[in-house]
Amino acid sequence: MPVTAERLPRSLVAMEIEVEQERLDGALEKAVQKVSQQVRIPGFRPGKAPRHIVENMVGRPALLQEAIEDLLPGLYSEAIEEQEIDAIGDPEIDLKSTEPLIVTAMVPVRPTVDIGDYRSLRVPRDEATVTAEDTEEAMVDVRRRYATLEPVDRVVEWDDTVRVDVSVSVEGQGEPHVEEGAEFRVAQDGVISLPGFLDHLIGLERGGPHEFEFDLPDDYDAQELAGKTASYTVTLHEVKQEVLPDLDDDFARSLDEEGIETLEQLRERVAENVRIRVEAEAEAAYRDEVLDLLLATSELDYPEVLVEREIDRLVDEQSNHAFHERETFDQWLEAIGSTEDEVRDALREQADLVLRRGLVMAELAEQESIEPSEQDIAGEVDVLVEQMTGGTTDLEERAELRGLLDTDETRGQITSRLLMTQTLERLVEIASQPDDVVVEEEDRGDHIVIHVQCHDDDKGRIIGRDGRVANAMRSLLYVASTRAGVRASLNIE
């Protein structure tokens, strides 16, 4: 069976399969037998009509279609085995010609990933700093948790809590949405109803109705509303101001937290919590930057079918598994006011990023021989059991729950998570190593010049023996240009 195969971009292989006439004739005979059993032909018992009679009755194209459908599974399996093609999804099959019979198949195959000289990647760390303002904001948040609300007879100000009747309509969106007795805080960083609504409440007096309108942002997430005019009618029933408790030792003691008896102790505890949060946020940002650098310096080729699978996973996650049942899924789509295509399109960019990150991390794990140990996995199962039992010492209950949790599926999920965590830790370890390369920036108005100086014994490592820029140089340029928010070009002198 003559077969040709050609590798194409996006991890596709185009195959062309020519079917020998003898094999086609055999399939046509089977098609005749099948069709003659299904179609009543005058003068013949089912399955006994000659081929030419059946062909005259149903037409050759119908018999050929039946024969091809019978042949295809075997043809495809033989072809990918002969060409040693590692297919990861269903092929797209077309009929190229009938004489001779030639079919084409577009086959998605495993991605190719080249992460290059990843061990030369370097990303400098920014020191996480906590300011006095950060601590004071956190202190206000603590007081706000114990604040009281008191009615006031004045116009609305930021951080007030209001009770309103609201009617809102958006240009081209049909009937207005009406809500009565809605109560919420007018926070500067909050979004209630639509972006911009809270701003228009500032300065309103109790009573009404008040009417106002404004245009929604052109880049608003809900594309059907972007750039449209929103019209509001608001009746303001009540305005309450937030009254914070006094900040003193009595307040500190009232929190009933171990080790806190004075205001100074409370301030120290809050400052420590802020430091931990800021450092965690900085570490998360650093990990993202390192991973994005690995992506930027890698070469990937992957089939679209993997992106679609990741979109399926994200849709299932966001719909709380409603994706499994069509009726339930349709109800979820109706509740969020979107079509399935709109949801999938909105998730495509995220799915593509998740997929690309996963591919480079999998390649890094393989090259670094990273594999979670049985001890690591068992430890994670222990943590799950502890969380689910609430720390109970009932051995029978713990054993029963362990039997439910310690399954192949759970262990597979734990292994995947640990593999990602351990691989990212290794990447961070590589990228955070000190480098004796000096980087300086020079602002020349319309562009920034980045000067890179290195010792003579580092020059070959950075530039490369054949003059190409290696990953060490690219990583420095990527980090500096990304942090400066500019596009970068490279010139080696």
Query: With DSSP H G I counted as helix, E B as strand and the rest as coil, what are the percentages for the chain, rounded to 5?
Result: 50, 20, 30
In terms of C-beta density within 10 A (0-12 exposed, 13-18 middle, 19 or more buried), how is residue 31 classed?
Answer: buried
Buried b / exposed e along 456-493 (16+ C-beta atoms within 10 A):
eeeeebbbeeeeeebbbbbbbbbbbbeeeeeeeeeeee
- The helix-helix angle for 132-145 and 263-296 (nearest 10°) equals 120
Q: Residue 450 has what pLDDT? A: 64
pLDDT computed for residue 469 by the predictor:
42
The C-alpha atoms of residue 174 and residue 178 are separated, in whole angstroms, by: 13
Asked whether 159 and 186 are in contact (CB, 8 A), the reply is yes
Element (H, E) at 475: helix 471-484
Q: What is the pLDDT along the chain (493 residues), one digit of tens a residue?
A: 788 999 999 999 999 998 888 888 888 888 777 766 666 666 666 666 676 666 666 677 878 888 888 888 888 998 999 899 999 999 998 888 888 889 899 999 999 999 998 988 988 888 888 899 999 999 999 999 999 999 999 999 999 999 999 999 988 877 888 999 999 999 988 888 888 999 999 999 999 899 999 998 888 877 778 888 999 999 999 999 999 999 999 999 999 888 899 999 999 999 999 999 999 999 999 999 999 999 999 999 999 999 999 999 999 888 887 777 888 888 888 877 788 898 899 899 999 999 999 999 999 999 999 999 999 998 888 888 887 777 667 777 777 777 877 888 888 889 999 999 999 999 999 998 876 555 566 777 776 676 666 544 444 434 433 333 444 455 555 555 555 555 555 555 5
Helix (H) or strand (E) holding 453: strand 448-453
- Which residues, in sequence order, are bridge partners of residue 109? 87
CATH 3.30.70.1050 in the chain, residues? 3-110
Q: What single letter denotes the amino acid at residue 199?
A: D
Q: Which of 419, 413, 425 is nearest to 372 (CA)?
A: 419
pLDDT of residue 456: 46
Distance spanning both ends of the chain, measured CA to CA? 58
d(CA 19, CA 64): 13
pLDDT score of 454? 55
Query: Mind giving me the DSSP string for 401-428?
Result: HHHHH-SHHHHHHHHHHHHHHHHHHHHH
* Residue 331 confidence (pLDDT): 86
Q: Give ranges for CATH 3.10.50.40 in the chain.
A: 148-243
Q: Give the DSSP letter of residue 27.
A: H
Radius of gyration of the chain (CA): 33
Find out whether 384 and 334 touch, Cβ atoms under 8 Å. Answer: no
Instruction: Check residue 462 and give its pLDDT.
Output: 41
CATH number of 3-110: 3.30.70.1050
Pick from 187, 118, 127: nearest CA to 156: 187
389 neighbors 403 (Cβ within 8 angstroms):
no
CB 49 within 8 A of CB 31: no
Query: What is the per-residue pLDDT across 104-130, written as a single tens digit (0 to 9) for each?
Result: 999 999 999 999 989 889 888 888 888
Look at residue 44 in the predicted model and tell me its pLDDT.
Answer: 66
What is the fold, at CATH topology level, of the domain defined by 148-243?
Chitinase A; domain 3 (3.10.50)
- CA proximity to 72, closest of 24, 34, 8, 11: 24
